[in-house]
Amino acid sequence: MRLITGLGEADRHLTQQAASRIPPAIGRPLSAVEEAAESSKLWCGAAVVMTVFGGRRGRRSAVSGLAALAVAQLVSNGVGKQLVDRPRPPKDWIEHDEVEDRPDSSSFPSGHTAAAVAFTAAVAATWPLAGALCAVPATLLAIERVQSGAHYPTDVAAGALIGLGSAWLTRHLPLLPRQRL
């Protein structure tokens, strides 16, 4: 019970710190990354670029990334949010107006983070440079989810774990037609 209480206190403290200490000059670009990632637009766009300009490795990376993203979205949004009905962080914890622009769905886990990490990890396994480039907006997105008051840090951590698991699963599924791409 102490662990759960301690986790709740850490979530509260980190959420309030992130929301109050990140200056608007940084918060605006973080919001732009989140908007680009909404409905997985950013990751689908990256997959198109990899497919068009990356040759065989780009196509393999795009397919792996999108497959992992789909699994992560299914697990996080289709299962996780249905099983864990956690409210978003209280609005009075957040000192800026971004808190008004957040979804009403369950806070746990972060679907945005799950998708970002899944895509990035799957791409990195096939094309490390592209994965490193994808890691930049994925990291910014994870920070934004807490800074905006949309998620607790534990929601983001759970999303990241789901993303890593999804990337691992799609990488190890024998059904993925990697050799034909």
Q: Check pLDDT > 90 for residue 175.
A: no
Over residues 113-117, the mean pLDDT reads 97
How far apart are the C-alpha atoms of 9 and 153, rounded to whole Å? 11
Over residues 107-129, the mean pLDDT reads 96
Element (H, E) at 19: helix 2-21
Check: CB of residue 167 under 8 Å from CB of residue 122.
Answer: yes
Q: What is the mean pLDDT of the chain?
A: 87
Residues 6+ positions from 3 with CB-CB distance below 8 Å: none
CA 5 to chain centre: 25
Which of residues 140 and 92 earns the better pLDDT score? 140
How far apart are the C-alpha atoms of 99 and 147, rounded to whole Å? 9
Q: Check pLDDT > 70 for residue 61.
A: yes
Q: Residues of the chain with pLDDT > 90: what percent?
A: 54
